[in-house]
Amino acid sequence: MSPKQNNTTVFFKALPKNIFSGFVVSLIALPLGLGLAMASDAPPISGVIAAVIGGILVSILGGSHVTISGPGNGLVGVLLGTILTLGIESAYAAIICSGALLLLLGFLRLGKLADFFPSSAIQGMLAAIGLIILGKQFHIMLAHRIKREDTVDYLFEIPFTINDAIHYDNTGLIYAALAGVISFLIMIFYSKLRNKYLQLIPAPMWIVILSIGFSYYFELVAHEANPIAINYMISGIPEFSEIISQIPTVDFSKIGTFPFWTSVLALTLIASIESLLSIKAVDKLDPEKRRSNVNKDLKALGLATIGSGFLGGLNVVTVIARSSVNVNNGGSNRSSNFFHAFFLVIFIVLFSTQLARIPLPALMAILVYTGYKLASPENIKKIFRIGKEQLIIFFVTLIVTLKIGLISGILSGVLITFIIHIVLNKSISLFARNWLKPNVLMFQEDGHYYISVKHFCSFLNFYKLKAKLDAVPENEDVIIDFSLCQFVDHTVMENLNNYQELFAKRGGHFEVLGLDLHDTDSEHPFALRRLLPVPNVIKNSLTRRQTTMEELANDYNLDYNAKKEKQTGFLNNFIFFRVKQINYIYNQTINKNNGLKLFDIEFSEGEFIAKEVVRSTMLHIKLNKQIPEFTLDREGFLEKVYAFAGFKDIPIKNHTDFSNRFYLLGEDTQAIQQFFTDEITHFFESNPYYHIESNGQDLLVFGRERLASIKEIKALYDFGKRLKAVIS
Amino acid sequence: MTIKPFKTIGIGIAFSPNLKANIFEAARLALFFDAKLIMIHIGAQSDDKSKTINSILSSFKKDNLKYEVVFKSGNPVAAILDTTNKKDIDLLIIGAAKRENLLKYYVGSIARKITRQAKCSLLLLINPSIDRIVCRHIVVNGLEDPKTEQTIATAFYVASKLKAEKITIVEEIKPNEIAVNVDDDKSLRHANIVRERISNRETSRINHIIEDLPQEHTNTIAIKSQPIFGTQGYSIGHYAQISRADLLVMNAPSKMTFWDRLFPHDIEHILTELPTDVLIIQ
């Protein structure tokens, strides 16, 4: 346990950073809020209202630390149906009721409810939501508004819309469609461009800025009317004063009807699932490794949803993409959520007239991209790799969700999963007999926790295992033994993998035993397992770069290993990876004599639409002595911006050139200043720039955030060798 | 505290393929405890049956095994219980079977009925064997219950008679005893402190019980105390299974209410799964 800190000072010290990241988040929240609301057929401002109310209430009452709350993409499908069947005024009533149910779930401590849904079924449901969003908005993105009965019809209509768009002869429509297509391209290619100035503003805000700039260009420079057709511009953004004076009426008259309550149930179900999944994912990104109080968060979200509903806003949920942007920009506590709401209010107060200059297709391009990400073929491939049976679950859920509705969809997913489990095990009694048995035993032996699981472990009874696992601090050692367990399903394997990552990040150890005898249908680590012996053979062929690296390794007398390696615990202590997920390292070149290790790494930053997968080549140097922890990088404009947000550059005396060109960060200023002797400082001054990080015992050195060429690898290796010589 | 020594050992026998193994086990135990063996058979008496039993027991003649065969008719459960009372049996052995199919499940159900009603101690054998399997490790429950003291004392008595090497006393810590809900880091720390405290309290309670036991039962055996977190009564069976215990010693169940039968728990679960041989102390 850390010594008692003065919480107030810590809070105020972190405040500038949180204001900054709250600002960045508000940049992405504004276009998303407008777009999500319009996609749900609600007034555009309702999405922003949800984000503001959510940001304020959840930041004050919530139990998580770095999450951002606002209107969620998962809810678009349900809200669309709700507003269509009930009308907007009764829909507000349904939103309020679902908020009340969410509040109730929080009080009944039912945060664990989301554990009862099989992962593949949830994936299928999310993909269906993605398709609903994509199908509906794709047409608007190409300036081709249509109205169809069935959600599936929208999807089938896509080729016709594309065909129509190519043959437009109305300039207004051409410009509108162009705005949509360009915005869509921005969404796609934004994450591929790793320029830090460009990345300072999130892609959705670029779209907003560019389209507003475009509109001003025509008005102020060209003195023409905006060429985009007027009915494809955002309409109905009220002035701030109007929002307050024109709170919509809420119509509770349909409260006794059946469709009302199915809508409320669907809203609650999706809101809670989306929030719980997001909280779980964001907890993994939290640099301070805190645990979120899920039930407290549910209560806060419920209350915020009630408030939002009364003020004419949508459901408030925890959202993954915005939360990950928050973490990446240095958000460290709930105040960033508050400031994201605060800046949204400022935007609306100052710029509500400018927002009307955004073309609708541009905004909908953001949503099409969101929908595409939810239903991306990548996800399907991933599920297929886990096992064919998961694909069945996925598609059954997807199709039923599209054809009938969300609740039927998720229920059919649960049902088909259960049936598949019975078929795979050729036994119903395994489940029937043992479902309610307390099948998990935990005890402590010589300093570690031992957990044994009997019979079977699937989504049906995972909550029992989870309750035990949650009671273990993440910096302890845990062993889970499945040798008495006949069947472990994919949901459990995936969740265990999450725990494994969490424990590894927080300095604990999490080991799964007793699955060696179990059979799988695929080699994927999340595949479900049945008890049966099976041999497996893995083949591998090397690429050209890999063979060159192998030659290089032979040349330099190093060991080379091309295989993907998931054991990356040695990287967990580096600050660089605190808010990043390491997927794996590969192409390792190791020098056993001097502790130098070169490797390619794949890691990801952010989640969902803000997700960026990065591959890079890095050098890890094991030192023989303790040095202070620090991060050293090239000084640039961005660092000066960060400096305002509370990041401090440590100056080294008598080396103004070094201090000007390099950006040095660390906790222990004195020790770092002592460590940077003349010799070391000169070494850095006279060598190429690298990002260098020390975690006390090891150094991490890398150049750019992309894979290095063979020549660059040689240079990096040489730099590392000399750096080590200088330091020790 | 007084330990009730096992002076008379009873066994219910049927002429099944397991007959020889069951009788061998019972006879060996009778010799270990220096007790008289009473074999109860539900069915008509015949010379054939007596002869079979005598021939099986012939290998124990040289050890001066005292035994008696009782033939009874009627409802097996009632008849066995009746004989137990009349003959003053201290330990009743039942050759149960690990649950696999319906037939064995039925045998298990007789054992369960007897367990609920018997007034003597009960030993359920899951794997009767003709050759002796040495009993090395005994697991005994350390529940906070008035009966526990008696149970632990008897476990040590049995262990010393069977020359077991190790006794593990398992304290089951109920989840509801840790009255803290784990939500976040703070409550988790709190819960762990509470757990530690309960764990220490339980260990000291068990140590008190052991201190009061006769020296000759405790000084030749390795004693381990293990707190576990799980569902009472069930998890100890699970523990016995993974720690590969040879014998699990348990308190007799307290009075069953209607609800207990509807929602099986405690000893009921152990009886349906029988992880090891189980000795239930009355």
A398-441 residue pLDDT tens? 999 888 877 888 889 999 999 988 888 887 877 877 777 778 88
Residues A269, A406 contacting (CB under 8 angstroms) = yes
The pLDDT tens digits for B185-230 are 777 788 778 878 887 887 888 888 888 777 777 777 778 888 887 6
Contacts A296 to B, Cβ<8 Å: 183-184
Which amino acid, residue A241? S
Q: Is B243 on the interface with A (CB under 8 A)?
A: no
CB within 8 Å: A1 and B189 = yes
Give the residue on A whose Cα is nearest the Cα of B264: A437
* pLDDT at residue A516, as a whole number: 63
Contact A575, A595 (CB under 8 A): no
User: Cβ of B234 under 8 Å from any chain A Cβ?
Assistant: yes
CATH classification of B8-125 is 3.40.225.10, yes or no?
no
Residue type, A213: G
Please indicate whether, in this complex, the C-beta atoms of B238 and A290 are within 8 angstroms of each other: no
First to last CA, chain A: 32
CB B170 within 8 A of CB B239: yes
Q: By the 8 A CB rule, do A175 and A229 touch?
A: yes
- Using CA coordinates, name the residue in chain A closest to B173: A443
CATH, domain range B137-247: 3.40.50.620
Nearest CA in chain A to B195: A471
Task: Answer yes or no: are the C-beta atoms of A290 and A509 closer than 8 Å.
Answer: no
User: How far is the alpha carbon of A293 from chain B, nearest alpha carbon, in Å?
Assistant: 5
Q: Is A340 left (phi over 0), alpha (psi -120 to 50) or beta?
A: alpha
* Chain B residues inside the 8 Å CB shell of A467: 175
pLDDT, tens digit, 9 for 90 and up, residues B53-97: 788 778 777 777 778 888 888 777 788 888 888 888 888 887 765
Task: Residue B242: list chain A partners with CB under 8 A.
Answer: 441, 452, 481, 484
Distance from CA of A433 to the nearest CA of B (A): 10
Nearest CA in chain B to A453: B238
N residues, chain B:
282
* Least confidently predicted of A190-199, A701-710, B28-37: A190-199
Contacts of residue A443 in chain B, CB cutoff 8 Å? 226-230, 239
Q: How far apart are CA B246 and CA A40, in angstroms?
A: 64
ipTM of predicted complex: 0.78
Confidence of residue B267 (pLDDT cuts 50, 70, 90): low
- Between chain A and chain B, the number of residue pairs with CB atoms below 8 A apart is 66
Give A-chain residues touching B182 at CB under 8 angstroms.
470-471
Separation of alpha carbons B143 and B229, rounded Å: 12
Sorted by where each starts, the structural domains of chain A and their CATH numbers stand as: 7-386 (no CATH), 432-531 (3.30.750.24), 544-727 (no CATH)
Q: What percent of chain A lies above the pLDDT cut of 70?
A: 92
**Cross-chain Cβ contact B183/A440 below 8 Å:** no
Residues 6+ apart with CB under 8 A from A338: A22, A55, A56, A59, A60
Most confident of A301-315, A495-509, B69-83, B125-139: A301-315
Q: Give the one of B183, B188, B242 whose C-beta lies nearest to A481's C-beta.
A: B242
A263-298 pLDDT, tens digit each: 899 899 889 888 888 887 787 777 777 778 888 889
- Are the Cβ atoms of A438 and B231 closer than 8 angstroms? yes
Nearest to B192 among A296, A473, A481 (CB): A473
Phi, psi of B261 (to 5 degrees): -75, -35
Instruction: Say if the Cβ atoms of B230 and A440 lie within 8 Å.
Output: yes
The boundaries of every CATH 3.40.50.620 domain in chain B are 8-125, 137-247
